[in-house]
Amino acid sequence: MPNASTLHDLLLTGADDAPAIGAPDRPSMTFAELRDLATETVTALNGFGIGRNDVVAIVLANGPEMAASFAAIGAGATTAPLNPAYRGEEFDFYLTDLKARALVVAEGDDTPAREIAAKHGIPILDLAAEADGPAGSFRLTGPSGATATKGGIAGLDDTALILHTSGTTSRPKMVPLSQTNVCASAHHIGGTLALTPADSCLNIMPLFHIHGLIAAVLSSLAAGSSVHCTPGFNALRFFQWLDNVRPSWYTAVPTMHQAILSRAKRNQDSVSNAALRFIRSSSSSLPPQVMAELEETFNCPVIESYGMTEAAHQMASNQLPPGQRKAGSVGAAAGPDVAIMSESTSDLLPQGEVGEVVIRGPNVTSGYIENPAANATAFIDGWFRTGDQGVLDTDGFLTITGRLKEIINRGGEKISPREVDEILLDHPAIAQAVTFAMPHDKLGEEVAAAVVLADGADASEGSIREFAGSRLADFKVPRKVVILDEIPKGATGKLQRIGLAEKLGLAG
């Protein structure tokens, strides 16, 4: 069913006996079993008084039950996956902001989300994994006897998923994604990657994040192929999973790829025996050096894509061979329309000019929830302003030059942190680098960088600055280089520039 526009219809794609959801060392759930599970789950939810467009917060660890519950609950209600690592105060904010009608937690899990839900009178639904069943099988128990206002299977315009933006500099915004939005994106990704029922994805991404939910789980199910869900990213266990699952692809953020590469030489047998058709990278810019090393190590193409929550993930992507792949580019439009708009007006700019990346299409949210000010700023003439700065080349390939709010303004001189990152990563001793703004009393902002050295490598702050100075204009050279064992990351594994100066004590 190539044009499925609801999660219910999307689950009809796979053959009855074809594997849908798996996990290392466990038998896979078939599409027939997943469809039955979705039907049973929607019926159970209706019996708990939960129906279409009622928000069900899901607090589950990474794994097949999380993937299956997202698909099954989403077939008849609105899912809102939350990071299980949140503390009580964070659950309090998110559950109340979402106006959650129910909370799904693992049976026996004493997560602080339980206490918060009880405080607000939110019904708690216990999810019990079926230990003797296939990967992902579960049953829900909870207070019954209520009647759902809108029962049954969700329709095209019903909300399938609500996620919050990261909220780095302001209150997180709620992004509603309709059934049509998430299904369109799943099909876009499947088309870009030429997924078939023969493919299998190894998921190492968090399943409270748009990347894992859509790129790994839904794109696989939409293609009638399988997704094998790990307990979460672990560079020590990755190669064991690679041997066990024998996936045809995996998708990850750059920091995960770098951690995998750091252990590849110690796991040469697993690397040699890998059956990867391609590797996908998204959610932040992949340094060209990392892309080249990945391709050389695993002997397969690396496909860098561009996504964000408001687009139900994918917006642009590089192409599978024999199509083009351009290192440093996030590819050509891969689903929605992509254009460059003037940062000060609503004029669209010609190829080669730098401006704000804008998108429109069936996968793009219709607007933030209860946030008219943000909507007035973000949506203009039918386009959504992404907040990213970029440029389209003559082939229509997009290069992201920076996040507008991350561009460093050094006394009026604008510096793209990514440009500095790529220079620093050419230093033979540097394994990871992230450039960011630190406050300056006269210039407003100054350039700083945090780096992690390669195993066994040695370099000083002075030598790193000298190296950068030989490749960059003086005003772009980091005035401060902090050498760390590990750079602080966000919950999804992404390096975060905003707020890093404060975290590293450079803001005072």
CB atoms within 10 A of CB 243: 14
Please name every residue paired with 262 in a beta bridge, in sequence order, or none if there are none: none
Q: Check residue 353 and give its pLDDT.
A: 96
Of residues 227 and 147, more confidently modeled: 227
Mean pLDDT across the chain: 94
Lowest mean pLDDT among 58-67, 68-77, 425-434: 425-434
Q: How many CB atoms sit inside 10 A of residue 398's CB?
A: 26
**Domains and their CATH numbers in the chain:** 7-176 (3.40.50.980), 200-403 (3.40.50.12780), 408-503 (3.30.300.30)
Question: Which residue(s) pair with 435 in the sheet?
Answer: 449
Q: How far apart are CA 346 and CA 424, in angstroms?
A: 35
CA distances in angstroms from 108 to 26, 136, 416, listed in the order given: 22, 17, 48
> What pLDDT is attached to residue 491?
72
Q: What is the mean pLDDT of residues 336-362?
A: 95
Which is more confidently placed, 401 or 139? 139
Take residue 318 and report the two structure tokens written for it. Answer: 């590089």
Task: To the nearest 10°, report the CA torsion of 140, 146, 149, 150.
Answer: 30
pLDDT tens track for 420-462: 998 999 999 999 999 999 998 878 889 999 999 998 899 999 9
Range from 187-191, 244-248, 386-390, 415-419 carrying the lowest mean pLDDT:
415-419
The dihedrals phi and psi of 462, each to the nearest 5 degrees, come to -65, -45
Any idea which of 113-122, 212-221, 402-411 has the lowest mean pLDDT?
A: 402-411
Work out the burial of residue 235: count CB atoms within 10 Å of its CB; fewer than 13 is exposed, 13-18 middle, 19 or more buried. Answer: middle
The verdict on whether omega for the bond into residue 123 sits within 30 degrees of 0, i.e. cis, is: no
pLDDT given for residue 343 in this prediction: 86
Q: How does pLDDT run across 387-411, given as a tens digit for each residue? A: 999 999 999 999 998 887 888 888 7
The residue with tokens 């351009």 is 326
Is the pLDDT assigned to residue 170 strictly greater than 80?
Answer: no
Q: Give the whole-angstrom CA distance, residue 399 versus residue 419.
A: 11
Among 58, 69, 67, 61, which Cα is nearest to 21's?
Answer: 67
- 445: which strand partners? 439
pLDDT of residue 202: 98
What's the pLDDT at 167? 53
Residue 1 is predicted with a pLDDT of 42
* CA separation for the pair 40, 49 (Å, rounded): 14
Residue 355's nearest CA partner among 306, 397, 404, 393 is 404
Half-sphere exposure of 502 (CA within 13 A, CB side): 6
Range 344-361 average pLDDT:
95
Share of the chain above pLDDT 70, in %: 98
Count, in order, helices (H) and strands (E) of the chain: 16, 26
**In this predicted model, which residue has the larger pLDDT, 404 or 352?**
352
